[in-house]
């Protein structure tokens, strides 16, 4: 291949690179990793499709024979995910039908797509690839050209910032908080064993603590701490109860509950 064609092929690759994210999102939405992980061995496309149909009707009694379109589209998604080494694909002989069949199996990456077990990146994948969250990425050129004002790409796309939008959009509020909580679990798993700073405090306030997952982990490993999870009202309203953690609603730019120490994780001052 000459240099011109190679460069052109590379631009094509960049042009369609969003397809990888969409295939990942599709796999999470359809619970493909959960379906394959729940079996003891690799399974065929037909088996995956049947499970998807059964799951989508939410009843094992519904007939689960996939039609041609389902098989065609699922085949394309699986091809993309296998290319990214998220699943394996291997031909084997099916003795029941005396045919050679392609079987899909798990890899070390596929467990991060699981919906039914933790740790998982599934909530973050659903959040980052949601149309609301994708829209601001279309405004790069606008914010660069914009000579007046300092609107962010998010504000250009939605007319307000993410926290304001989440306060009036329950779906965004849930996917954002779930995404943050899943990220928090992983980060706290690294912070807690590495930083021995929590023993000396009697109370701790997590400012912008989301639904309180980080603080719950800290209090679990340091039960003497009185935890205060502080966030905006629409966030604390959906926070689950947790032993040793009190949820307090408010605006950090007005006041913050007092405690022996303040914990702030992730850049929130944009
Ligand atoms: C990027 S998230 C981080 C959540 C959590 N700390 C974590 O690391 O997973 C930022 C959090 O700050 C909260 N927040 C934003 N503005 C706030 C404000 N003015 N007062 C209190 N909380 C705020 C948001 O609701 C959100 O839960």
Write down the ipTM of this complex.
0.98
CA 231, CA 211: separation in Å to the nearest integer? 8
Q: What is the pLDDT of residues 138-194, one digit of tens each?
A: 999 999 998 777 899 999 999 999 999 999 999 999 999 999 999 999 999 999 999
Do 107 and 42 have their domain in common?
Answer: yes
Q: What is the pLDDT of residues 226-264, one digit of tens each?
A: 999 999 999 999 999 999 999 999 999 999 999 999 999
User: From the CB of 263, is ligand 1 less than 6 Å away?
Assistant: no
CATH code, domain carrying 258: 3.40.50.150
Q: Which of 232, 239, 265 to mutate to test the pocket of ligand 1 (most atoms within 8 A of CB)?
A: 232
Of 67, 96, 116, the residue at which a domain comes to its end is 116
Do 128 and 218 have their domain in common?
Answer: no
Question: Hunting for tokens 């059964």 — which residue is that?
Answer: 54
Q: Which domain holds residue 153?
A: 118-195
Do 100 and 73 have their domain in common?
Answer: yes
Of 116, 135, 150, the residue at which a domain comes to its end is 116
Do 208 and 154 have their domain in common?
Answer: no
- From the CA of 264, give the closest atom in ligand 1: 6
Compute, in angstroms, the gap from residue 116 CA to the centroid of ligand 1. Answer: 26
Total domains, the chain = 3
Do 177 and 102 have their domain in common?
Answer: no
- In what side-by-side order are the strands of the sheet with 99-106? 43-44, 99-106, 87-94
- From the CA of 208, give the closest atom in ligand 1: 12
Of 145, 179, 195, the residue at which a domain comes to its end is 195
**Beta-strand (E) ranges in the chain?**
43-44, 87-94, 99-106, 203-207, 226-231, 245-249, 261-263
* Number of residues that make up the chain: 270
């Amino acid at each position: 291949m000459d240099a011109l064609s190679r460069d052109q092929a590379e631009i094509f690759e960049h042009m369609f690179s969003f397809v990888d994210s969409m295939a990942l999102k599709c796999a999470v939405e359809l619970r493909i990793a959960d379906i394959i992980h729940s079996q003891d061995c690799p399974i065929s496309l037909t088996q995956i499709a049947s499970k998807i149909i059964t799951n989508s009707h939410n009843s094992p009694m519904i007939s689960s024979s996939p039609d041609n379109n389902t098989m065609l589209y699922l085949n394309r998604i699986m091809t993309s995910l296998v290319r990214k080494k998220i699943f394996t694909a291997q031909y084997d002989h099916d003795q029941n039908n005396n045919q050679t069949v392609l079987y899909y199996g798990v890899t070390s990456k596929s467990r991060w797509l699981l919906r039914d077990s933790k740790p998982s990146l599934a909530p973050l994948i659903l959040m980052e690839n949601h149309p609301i969250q994708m829209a601001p990425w279309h405004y790069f050129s606008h914010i660069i050209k914009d000579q007046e004002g300092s609107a962010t790409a998010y504000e250009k796309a939605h007319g307000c910032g993410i926290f304001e939008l989440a306060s009036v959009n329950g779906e965004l509020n849930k996917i954002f908080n779930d995404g943050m909580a899943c990220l928090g679990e992983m980060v706290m798993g690294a912070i807690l064993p590495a930083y021995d700073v929590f023993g000396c405090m009697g109370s701790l306030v997590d400012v912008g603590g989301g639904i309180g997952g980080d603080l719950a982990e800290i209090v679990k490993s340091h039960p003497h701490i009185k935890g205060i999870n502080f966030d905006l009202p629409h966030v604390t309203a959906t926070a689950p109860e947790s032993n040793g953690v009190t949820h307090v609603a408010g605006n950090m730019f007005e006041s913050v509950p007092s405690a022996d120490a303040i914990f702030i994780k992730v850049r929130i001052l944009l």
